[in-house]
Structure formats: C-alpha cells, structure tokens
Copies of this chain bind each other. A is one copy, B any other.
Amino acid sequence: MGFIKLWRPKALYLNLSRQTRGKQKWGITLLNAFPKKIRIFDTTLRDGEQTPGVSLTPDNKLRIAKSLDKLRVDVIEAGFPAVSEGEMEAVKLIAKEGLKAEICSFVRGTKSDIDVALKCDTQSVHLVIPTSDLHLQYKLKKTREEILKLVEESVQYAKDHGLVVELSAEDATRSEFNFVKEFFAKGISLGADRICPCDTVGVLTPEKSYKFFSDMRKTFKDIIISAHCHDDFGMGVANSIAALRAGAHQVHATINGLGERAGNAALEEIVAALKLIYGVKLPIKTELLYRTSTLVARLTGVPVQPNKAIVGENAFTHESGIHTHAILSHPLTYEPISPEFVGVTRRLVAGKHAGSHGIRASLEKIGLHPTDEQLKEISMRVKTLGDKGKKITDADLLAVAEAVMGLPQTSPIKLEELTVVTGDRVTSTASVRLKLNNKVVSEAATGLGPVDAAINAVRKAILVVEPINLEQYHVKAITGGTDAMVEVIVRLRRGDRTATAMGVREDIVMASVEAVLSGMNVLMADYHKRGHK
C-alpha cells in the first residue's frame, strides 16, 4: 500500500511544506511571500552578549564567531566596539580572521561610534537610532527633526567611509509608522544598504508582524529588509518567521535565544521551522546546531533549559511509556525532528511514566533479558520509585532488575572508609578504603578541593581492577543554604559501555562518591560478559 514510503521523514517534511506553499490540506492557499534568499544575521555576540551577567573575553568571542561561521550564517554582528577597550579588541580580532560571513559592528548614530567601528575594520555597521516617541522623549531627549538629522549625518559619514550600512529603527513597532517610513526613506536616500525596523521590546504578534512587514515591502521595494524580534511574550520566533513570510529578506537571531531580558528570537528554532515546516532552502549546517548551542552556553555561562526547543537536553529524550513504545516502532510518531538533523542522539530514560517497552530496551543494553512476567514487575517497581519522587538512573534500574530476576545484587565495590582534609593552607587530601570483590584496597590522593581529592582516591583504588573513566560529572545548581541537598549525576565509561548514576546528600563530597561508586557497580555488573540470558 506504499504507506511506509509516505511516512519517510523526508516525505513528511516535504508534505508539510507543500501544504503551506500551495493548496493546504484544509482547502486554502496561504500567502507565503518568502524572498528567494533568506539571510541569517546572527547577533549572539552583540545583543546576546548584552544578556545581564554575560561578559566574553575576546578569545571566547572569536571562538564563537568561528563556530557561527561554520554554521554558515550570513552576517556576524561581532559586538558594540564603543562599549569598552576589550570589546573593541574582540571585534577587531574577529574582523581580521578572514571568515566567510560578513562581520558587522553595532554603532549608535554618532561619528565617534562609527570611528571606533572603522578602527575595527568590519565590513558593515549596524547603525541603530530610535524612532518611538517614548525613546525620543525619555532616552535621547530629541525631536523627530533631530532624529532625521542624526540619520542624515551618520549614514552619510558611514557611507563616505566605505561601510555597508544596515540602518535600524529602534522600537519601530511602537513608533508612528509614517515616521518610521520617513526615517528609512531618509536613510536610503543617503545610501543605507539594508533597513531594519526593530521590535525592541517584543510586542509584535505574528499577524501584526506579517502586516507590518507587508507594508514595509510595499513601501521599500528595492532594499533588503530585516526583522529584529525579541521574545518578551514568547513569540519572537513566530514573529520573525511571519516577517519572512511577508517578504522580509533577513532575520536577526541569537543562539539559544540569548539577549536582553527574555532574549532575541532563537536562531536554531527559526532555522528548524523554516527548513522542516516551510520547506525553505537555507545553507545553514543544522547538524552543527547542538554543538554551537553547547559552546555558547558554556562560554556565556547561561544554561539552556531542558525543555528548550531544538537544543534542550529533553528535546530528543523520551520517558513516557506511550511515547517510547511508539518511538521504538517508528520515531516519527513522536519526533517531528530527527535528532541527526540537530546533531544529537535520542535518549530513552526510565521513570514513573515509563512503559515496559522502553525498560526492556534499556535492560537489553546492559545484557539483561527479563521474562515478560519479570519485566512487568520491574516496570511496576520503577513506577513505585518514581511515585516517591525519584529520578531513575541506570544504577537504579539495574538494582531493581537484579532484585526481580533473582540475580545476586551487584555490589562488588563497597565503601569502608573515607576521610578528607581540606582548607586554605593544606593540599586537599583524601584516603579511601574500599572492599572490591571482597578484597580490601586502600589508596590516598590529593586534588583541587575535597571532591576532586576524594574521587581521585576512589579512581586510583578501582584502577587496579578496572579501567573505568569518569566521563561526565554534573552537580545540579544548589539553591537554598549551605545545608541544601546536593544532587550529583555522573556518567562513567568502560570500553564501549556507559552507565549513569546519581548521589544525593547534603554533603557534596559524599554525594559525589556515592554517585561514582554506584555507577562503577553498574559497569562491573557485566551481564553481557557473563553470558546471562
């Protein structure tokens, strides 16, 4: 019946995109006036860096710029060079790197800002001048006439110095539209190359954005029009896409949706929607999206929430039984985007909502093959743990399975004693005594702090028997007091196998040791090797 063919990922996406381009499933034609070439103007390093509390060193800015270039964005707004010496250095560094993307400096409507940009030698400037009465009166204390004068002087000056000029009207969406038009007409008459009416405080809606940019297109026919949307009401991405649908040529976006307040429209979301839902061709290398997101999160220190679209750690993770069962049968049932598209892999996790299919899949990975009856009991016990509010790791799943299947509880490693000394005038030192398959092993180690010392001692003791690596060590943010619960999650690797485990205590040292030992126990319970059926 050719059904499976119809539901190949590619077919699905094409199918979706055809719907939006021509006749729709529900009988109407949608008016998509996408331009031939859509341009991505990345502002992670400018508006994104303005995120409160974020400061990047010039070196780190360069690293991010390089990864944006690999992603193939069209423009990299490298920074606001007038803001500080270091920022100027950073922009200069990026400009002379010889990247494919156009490198752009943010400037206000003053000669001095443009002079600093010239020193940085960027190809273009993003020249921003406000147009709303609110900004004119309370921020600049200027009249509309004075604003037009600013436009005249600064565009003229920038063009005279050979710069590509993208002229932005700040707070355009709360400005009188006639004045916005006058503002841009003036800029264009003096040679501005691109224009951008900004939704500075994110008050657009998709329908308003569509209308607004349709009007812009009708008024300004021969120039690149750009959209700059903020996410204050959670609609930054939809508003950006609406602008493109109305014929805007370019969108401003940031990785992870960084930016002032609730941030800018997220680049990864715009790109995924354009490609997969609207079937638009874009040169963006989407398989680098996850990697880029991780780099930006790490260097800026701004975490991505697990339930963030496209790049959140849960975007391709499934727990609920209904979902994992279906995913195992056909991923598209609950995955509108294939993990490979973004450059990640799918994760199935056990938990209160898990069903037996997902749990069987997880157990088979560690070499356990429960009967149907046993599987039912294991699922039930996992749910019971979940009911108590527990997050289920590989270590928990193994313990439950062993109990149900009547296998001897795997616990070849037992902590007999741990002592750590630390302070400001003493090298952190730990001694540990472990029982390893009934043999007592003692080791001591130093480290950078008490946790490092303790884990070093444990690893040294184990290394005698098993080459196990600590691949990931993660401590959940601790909030409350110094006696708050600390949750440590680790992933350990031995050869091609990994195991996750967790430790929860008020004491970060003991929580870390608990997690590492519990993960080591999973890896040493090698049912594959033992040939268990």
Contact = CB atoms under 8 A, between A and B. Distances in A.
Interface string A479-508: 111111011000000000000000001111
Contacts of A207: 20, 30, 206, 245
A309 B232 contact: yes
Nearest to A254: B307
Interface in A202-220: 202-203, 205-208, 211-212, 215
B139 A508 contact: no
Interface in A409-438: 415, 417-426, 428
Nearest to A231: B309
State the oligomeric state as a number of copies.
Answer: 2
Interface string A139-178: 1000000000000000000000000000000010010110
A512 interface: yes
Interface stretch (A117-125, A188-196, A346-354): A346-354
A363 interface: no
A67 interface: no
Contact of A424 (B203, B384, B417, B451): B417
A336 interface: yes
Interface stretch (A79-87, A97-105, A366-374, A523-531): A79-87
Interface residues of A, number: 172
B388 A84 contact: no
A262 B310 contact: yes
A138 B329 contact: yes
Interface in A263-319: 263, 266, 269-270, 272-273, 276-278, 298, 301-310, 312, 314-319
A391 B475 CA distance: 21
Interface in A367-418: 380, 383-392, 415, 417-418
A30 B512 contact: no
B86 A201 contact: no
A71 interface: no
A422 B235 contact: no
A277 B233 contact: yes
A476 interface: yes
A112 interface: no
A337 interface: yes
B234 A310 contact: yes
Given A52-B351, A232-B309, A315-B232, A135 B24 contact: no
A226 interface: no
Nearest to A393: B53
B205 A277 contact: yes
Nearest to A212: B26
A134 interface: yes
Q: Which 9 A-B pairs have the closest CB atoms?
A: A86-B387, A449-B507, A234-B269, A238-B238, A263-B307, A84-B383, A448-B506, A138-B330, A305-B305
A259 to B, nearest CB: 7
A57 B390 CA distance: 9
A56 interface: yes
Given A51-B306, A349-B52, A205 B448 contact: no
Contacts of A51: 306-307, 314, 319
A475 B7 CA distance: 46
